[in-house]
Amino acid sequence: MALTDNISIEERAKKIKVVIFDVDGVMTNGGLMLGDDGLEYKNFHSQDGLGLKLLHNTGLKMAIVTGRTSNVVTKRAENIKITHIYQGVEDKLEAFNEILKDLNVTAEECMFMGDDVIDLPPMRRAGLAVTVPHAMPLVKEYAHYITTREAGHGAVRELCELLMKAQGTFDGQMAKFLK
């Protein structure tokens, strides 16, 4: 692993105020479906969606930074209450830095979840860098945490629950389901 500090995942997660996600290969399984009508289709997991809504309820801010541009991403973001959306991004570090400025947070207070080398610049700056099992090997080297669930199959939910548990908000979010 390229990371050499001894800060635990829980310590990193406690400091997070902003959660930033790539889309393809993180929020989806990475497959791109293009129809004869020219429209793009993506497959999102419902458990990830609920996890993101629960995370939103805790007060954490969320953002999407993706290299592609798609109406599907805009609609998904609206559904899960993500208001900071950056699409068609070639320089993800530039978008990351803009988010820091707009939300008045430090890099240490941000988590970035990506799966490919284009995600490395913001991952290397973020206080918590997360990836998925199928990520490119170099990305895994720079991740603080690799989910056990695959992208598009609950990886985002796993990360949401990890953050909520570290920040002491998980039980409160689960209480309404355990009445």
Question: Which residues are known binding-site members?
Answer: 22, 24, 115
Whether the full predicted model's pTM is greater than 0.85, yes or no, is yes
User: Could you give the CA distance from residue 142 to residue 3 in angstroms, rounded to a whole number?
Assistant: 6
pLDDT value for 5: 66
User: Could you give the CA distance from residue 83 to residue 13 in angstroms, rounded to a whole number?
Assistant: 21
Q: Distances in Å between the alpha carbon of 18 and those of 15, 35, 50, 56, 60? A: 9, 34, 18, 10, 6
Query: At residue 3, does pLDDT exceed 80?
Result: no
pLDDT value for 35: 85
Confidence class of residue 31 from pLDDT cuts 50, 70 and 90? confident
User: Could you give the CA distance from residue 111 to residue 14 in angstroms, rounded to a whole number?
Assistant: 11
Bridge partners, residue 61, by sequence: 18
Other CB atoms within 10 Å distance of the CB of residue 51: 23
State what percent of residues in the chain have pLDDT above 90: 85
pLDDT value for 76: 94
User: Could you give the CA distance from residue 81 to residue 75 in angstroms, rounded to a whole number?
Assistant: 10
Mean pLDDT across the stretch 99-103?
Answer: 97
Decide: 106 and 78 in contact? Cβ < 8 Å: no
Question: Which residues are known binding-site members for Mg(2+)?
Answer: 22, 115
Enumerate the domain spans of the chain: 9-168
What confidence tens digit (pLDDT) does each residue in 45-87 have?
A: 999 999 999 999 999 999 999 999 989 999 999 999 899 999 9
Question: Which residues are known binding-site members for substrate?
Answer: 24
What confidence tens digit (pLDDT) does each residue in 136-151 have?
A: 999 999 999 999 999 9
Query: At residue 4, does pLDDT exceed 90?
Result: no
Instruction: Look up the CATH architecture of domain 9-168.
Output: 3-Layer(aba) Sandwich (3.40)
Residue owning tokens 């799966």: 115
Instruction: Name the more confident of 160 and 179.
Output: 160
User: Could you give the CA distance from residue 61 to residue 71 in angstroms, rounded to a whole number?
Assistant: 21
